[in-house]
Amino acid sequence: MRVFIDARVIQDHFPGIGRYVFNLIAALAPQLDGELLALVDVNAANTRYDLGQLTKRPNIQLIPTDIPIFHWRSQTALPRLIRRLRPDVAHFPYNVRPLRTGVPSLLTLYDVIPRRFSGYYPRLTRWKIEAIQRAALRASDGFAAISQSTEDDFVELYRVSRETVTVTPLAPDPVFHPRPPAELDAFRQQKDLPQRYMLYLGSNKPHKNLPRLIRAWAQIRNPKSEIPNLILAGHWDARYPEAKELAAALGVKDSVRFLGPVSGEDLPWLYAAARAFIFPSLYEGFGLPVLEAMASGVPVACSRAPGLSEVAGHAALTFDPLSVDEMADAIIRLGTDAAVRMNLTRSGRERASAFSWKETAALTLRAYERLAAV
């Protein structure tokens, strides 16, 4: 079988989706009896992934292009390129995809955040996102949903047929694993990080629920507290300053550090050096940071949002994301109870090991084979 995959998302603008596609391609190649043609944007900034590593597999061919994902030529020149390559199946891991390709196509489904939290978007932006989503769904013959929760959402809100969906759970990157204590101490010192800190990783978009996390932190934090410092890392959107404003207003800004974006090189160390990981999101399609923290040997507390519950299983402390009190209680338990941390560290690593890119690739390959057989 000859598979085309739009790998232009392997770039800095798409850190999460780029990680998914890079690891999927690497895991697909050994299982694919045929060629894997990966389209890559030669002009996109990519500081996280070495595309040359993929070419070590003889059945992976990188197809260079100067067509950016958001350029109108994706609807004209790209379909012609795909037809010339003559794949049996085309896989598009992002909604902005060519609408006519002439071959069966698979679309990856992540979440329905713009529908569940439509009030957070300006009307025109909301209309554009919805139009692109619906056009991508109509143009696709099959779908890979990153969780059962995501499949359920698309069936409910977009009337996608379950028969066309394959659930392909994600997995932690192999770079996430425990590190020797002495090396973690050196990392903390090098990066000027506290010896003990709890970590949140993600954006500050409203569905990430950071204002409630700050309120929970303020509720339990005091100068003599055993609870360590809180570090919030990840892309910061200036349109949503509430978390920073609350940290100042509630008097906890000295124990809360907004770290901002983290390099791909530092990220595994930032996880592994944390005392615990907190993820209070109101909604996630999958919640990969939870698995990354577990794989790093870090105990986790996360919300009971459907996508997160599916990922965490019984290997994390969970709380109602709307309850500041429940969130505060989870923070206290992680910060003060060594036995709880030890048990969650063990169960978390077991849980993370149940997810693998090999299995993700195997499930995705089955979806390709079904489409190619039609």
pLDDT at 107: 98
CA 352-357-359 angle, to 5 degrees, is: 95
pLDDT at 39: 97
Residues of the chain with pLDDT below 70 are 222-225
Cα–Cα separations (whole angstroms), residue 200 to 208, 247, 315: 10, 15, 17
Among residues 270, 257, 250, the alpha carbon closest in space to that of 328 is found at 250
CB neighbourhood size of 197 (10 A): 19
pLDDT digits (tens, 9 = 90+) for 29-63: 999 999 999 999 999 999 888 999 999 999 999 99
Domain residue limits, the chain: 2-171+356-373, 181-353
Helix (H, G, I), strand (E, B) or coil at 207: helix
pLDDT at 223: 54
Tell me the torsion sign for CA atoms 24, 25, 29, 34.
positive
Among residues 185, 187, 115, 120, the alpha carbon closest in space to that of 153 is found at 115
pLDDT at 324: 97
Span 181-353: which CATH code? 3.40.50.2000
pLDDT at 225: 66
Instruction: Round to whole Å and give the CA distance between 61 and 162.
Output: 32
pLDDT at 151: 97
pLDDT digits (tens, 9 = 90+) for 78-102: 999 999 999 999 999 999 999 999 9
Question: In CATH, which superfamily holds the domain spanning 2-171+356-373?
Answer: Glycogen Phosphorylase B; (3.40.50.2000)
Can 2-171+356-373 and 181-353 be said to share one CATH topology? yes
